[in-house]
Amino acid sequence: MKGLKIIVLAKQVPDTRNVGKDAMKADGTVNRAVLPAIFNPEDLNALELALRVKDQIPGTIVTILTMGPGRAAEIIREGLYRGADGGILLTDRAFAGSDTLATSYALSQTIKEMGKFDLIIAGRQAIDGDTAQVGPQVAEKLGINQVTYVEEILQIEKSSIKARRRLDNGVETVKAPLPLLLTVNSSAPDCRSRNAKLLMKYKHARTVTERQDAAEDYLYLYDSRPFLNIQEMTVNEIQSTPEQLGLAGSPTKVKRIENVILQAKDAKRLTAADEGINDLMKELIESHVIG
C-alpha cells in the first residue's frame, strides 16, 4: 500500500497539570511565565497514532502543524525527535488572540496550502482551554469527514480507515472514507519517547526566526543539512481575510472568570469492615456520585 500523507495538529500549552498557587494572575488569566510550556498531552497521543501508521505503511509522511509564538517551534522539534518527518510553525502577530473559530480558520487555510493529504490527526482537546472544538472545526472548514474521540486505528485501506472511538459508556467502531480528520483521546497509547539518533540529528533544527534571534553556534550547518530548517509560515503565505483572523475573527468573549476552590466540608468515619464499605457504596450510588 502507498504511504499516507498525514498532518498532525499540535499545540504548545502551559502545563496545567501541576499548577501551584501562582498559576493564575490576579486578573484571572493564566500566568504563562510560571507554567512550563509542553506538548499538549492528547496531541502526543495523536502523534503516536500517526507514527504507528508510518511504522505500518512505509512511505508515510508525518508533518506537524502548530500555530503559536516563535517558541512553539519546540513542539516541532519534539515531534521530529519522535519520528515525524517535518513540521510547519504558523506564526504571526495577526493570529494573536485567536479563539477556536479563528484558530481553525487559520489552520484550515494553511492546510489548503500544504497540498494533498490523506489524514489529519489532532488531540481531542488542549489542556489550557478544554474546548475540543478546533479539530472538528478544521474538518468542517475543509469539508472532510471527521471521527472524534478515537483511541485506536484498527485498519487502513486504500480509501478508508476503521477506528475505535472511546465514548462515555463504551466503545464504537466506525469506518470512514479518506481524506479524514481524527481527534484522539488520552486513552490512545502514550507517545513513544524521543529516539536517541533523531534527537541528535534534529537538536539543532531551527526556524529562520530562531536562527536570527539566537547566538547560534552551528549556523553553518543549515546549508549542508537542509533538514535542520523548520518551515515557518506567516499570514502572508496563506489565503485569508483579515476579519476572520486573530482577535477580530474571534467571537468568543470571556464574560467573567472566577476561582473555584474545592473544599472538604465534613469528614465521615467508616468502620473498617464490609458493612461500612457497603453503606458508603449505597450512599455514593444514591447521591449519584458513582453509577
Residues that bind other proteins (CB under 8 A): 192-201, 203, 217-218, 221, 225, 227
With respect to other proteins, which residue has the nearer C-beta, 50 or 138? 50
Beta bridge partners of 288: none
Closest CB to other proteins among residues 216, 237: 216
The minimum distance between CB 271 and other proteins, in angstroms, equals: 23
Shortest distance, position 65 Cβ to other proteins, whole Å: 24
Q: Are 24 and 31 in contact (CB under 8 A)?
A: yes
What letter represents residue 77's amino acid?
Answer: R
Minimum distance from residue 176 beta carbon to other proteins (Å) = 29
DSSP 199: H
H/E stretch holding 53 reads helix 41-56
- CB of 228: closest distance to other proteins in angstroms? 9
Nearer to other proteins, 165 or 206 (CB): 206
Residue with cell 466503545: 171
Least distance CB 18 / other proteins (angstroms): 12
Q: Nearest 5 degrees, angle CA 26-CA 30-CA 36?
A: 130
Identity of the residue, 132 or 199, whose beta carbon is nearer to other proteins in the bound complex? 199
Residue 98 to residue 185: CA distance in whole angstroms? 24
Nearer to other proteins, 193 or 287 (CB): 193
Q: Cα–Cα distance between 140 and 181 in angstroms, integer?
A: 10
